[in-house]
Amino acid sequence: MIDSVTVRRQKIRKDHTRKRFVFFLLATAVFLIVVCFARQFCPYDPNAQVFSALEPPSVQHPAGTDRFGRDMLSRILIGLRTSVLSTLALVAIITAAGTVIGVLCGHLGGAADALMMRAADVCLAFPGLVLALAIAALLNGGLQNAVLALAVVGWPKYARLARSQTLALESADFIAAARLSGDSSVQLVARHILPNIAGPILVTAVLDIGTMMMELAGLSFLGLGAMPPTAELGSMMSSGRSMLQTYPWVILGPGIAIFAAVALFHLLGDSVRDVLDPRTGR
């Protein structure tokens, strides 16, 4: 009786986990469609300075206007596109670079492994955002330079994870059997190592999207990211921070957009983790 109840509870939990994953996957897909086609959803030209400055939210301007008379809703949509697409590109870069470096270091070992891991240790020895600030400042700011600075800071985590997973697999029986069957190093990595470490790497990458979005917005907020008149959520909050008490919609709109995007990607990451590792399901 106890076993049947336990099995039923596990089945219910698995069904709930799958439904949760599908829900957040669909929500993220809809969100990304809106982001990719943000220009079509904008009610006005986001750079047109043709309205009265600092109008409060109304039917005509649901998010108000900024100090230059630009429609805030249109700029928030374009700012979301800039922030999200830049963050996705950043996460893709550090995931690919870190995974390749970690797998090669773990599989080949030797001097290259020691050298790359010491370089990773140097990057991890500094607070990530502080090091990114320094690199972005040396590169004179800009959105591309901010992405590059965060990429320099972000790859060691994936390299460490991929290396540890690869080292754990190197002693597995199926890897030894593949070697005995004549598989080359490239075949071992492509057929056996990468498929078996893809789960933890994917979960880490999805969970990292929200964090990287916040850090990219932080660099822009400090003037080291996107430059005006480019619409980006961090720079929009920076330009409106002095008007928080008098014209709060100027900063609250971009802030709510960042919060919603980060929360959505974190919830998606949690659901991906629960699906790939049912032991963590709640």
Enumerate the β-bridge partners of residue 65: 71
Say what the pLDDT of residue 144 is: 93
CA nearest to 210, candidates 98, 90, 41, 93: 90
Question: Cα–Cα distance between 249 and 244 in angstroms, integer?
Answer: 8
What's the total number of domains in the chain? Answer: 1
Tell me, what's the pLDDT at 216? Answer: 94
> Is 96 contained in some domain?
yes
71 three-state secondary structure: strand
Residue 58: inside a domain, yes or no? no
- Encoded tokens for 70: 């630009």
CATH code, domain with 211: 1.10.3720.10
pLDDT at 280 over 70: no
**Residue-number span of the structural domain to which 236 is assigned:** 76-270
Rounded CA gap, 129 and 134, in Å? 9
Eight-class DSSP state of 192: I
Name the pTM for this structure: 0.90
DSSP helix/strand/coil, 107:
helix
The pLDDT of residue 278: 52
Please tell me the distance from the alpha carbon of residue 61 to that of residue 52, in angstroms, as a whole number.
Answer: 11
Residue percentage of the chain with pLDDT more than 90: 61
pLDDT for the residue numbered 279: 54
Residue 65 — φ and ψ, nearest 5°? -125, 160
Tokens of 127: 């607070």
pLDDT tens figures, 73-110: 999 999 999 999 999 999 999 999 999 999 999 988 88
Q: Is residue 229 part of a domain?
A: yes
| 17 occurs within a structural domain | no
User: Is residue 156 domain-resident?
Assistant: yes
92 within a domain of the structure (yes/no)? yes
